[in-house]
Amino acid sequence: MTALRVEMIRQMELHRLSPNTQRLYVRAVRGLARFYHQSPDRLTARQVQDYLLHLLVERKLSWSTANVATHACRFLYLRTLKWDRLEFELPPCKRQAKLPEILSTEEVERLLTWPQNLKHRAVLMTTYAAGLRVSEVVRLLVTDIDSRRMTIRVSQGKGRKDRYTLLSQRLLSELRPYWREERPGTWLFTGRKPGQPMSLHTARAVYQMAKTGAGITKTGGIHALRHSFATHLLESGVDPRTVQVLLGHRSLNTTMRYLHVTRTHALSVRSPLDLLALPDVPAQP
């Protein structure tokens, strides 16, 4: 490992960047070095800018992926190398206002019923029942399950924030036979290596297998269970502020976007056509 990478990792730790962000930044800077075949500290600001445009225009990476590389370069040169303030910019993102595809309650039932493996079933059920991100569910500790208070503690979720979310009685009844059979130690959902948690890749693969087996054709990965958790709560009458707290959203605006996909919210609105006093359609001869 080069001295530059060691110092960048040290600075990322000092700035309390999450482990996932650190991995993305290191990978982005490594790509920059490989592109020019030299250490990034020998490059000019123009070369860095050209590389970022290369990612977007020539390699046709998504805007979000190129933007991660942009932030990684800013961190490297401003925080690690202490250069004077530089501006690495990308063309504005042309975002498409896409709403997530929400699983119906019937689809969720089919999905959770399909796995025969107790651990796989428990992983999917926990993700949906508590509205967790996949990174949160695989990092759950056995001690995070509080059956007395009926809560699940999420440690250092997105933004390095702790929170509590729901522990469903049905989920608890599913976790108990899983625990008796698997006897997990520290991590609630263990991986293949002893003492290690289940990997993100494994959790995502478990969801895809269950989705295929249940005959669900809607797009999206395991995060669809979190989307569905939020949407189904709102449809059942839970107020958005409570849903925000359970999801760990910093802004209520992030939670409110789920109102756009709730079935009951849409069906409660009457079309203005229904308000007009129009005569009945004449019978056809």
What are the tokens at 45?
A: 């600001």
Distance CA 24, CA 14 (A): 17
Distance CA 33, CA 246 (A): 41
Distance CA 117, CA 107 (A): 19
Residue pair 124/229 in contact by the 8 Å Cβ criterion: no
**156 burial level (CB within 10 Å; 0-12, 13-18, 19+):** middle
Residues noted as catalytic: 133, 158, 223, 226, 249, 258
* Distance from chain centroid for Cα 263: 23
Distance CA 246, CA 244 (A): 6
Residue pair 126/117 in contact by the 8 Å Cβ criterion: no
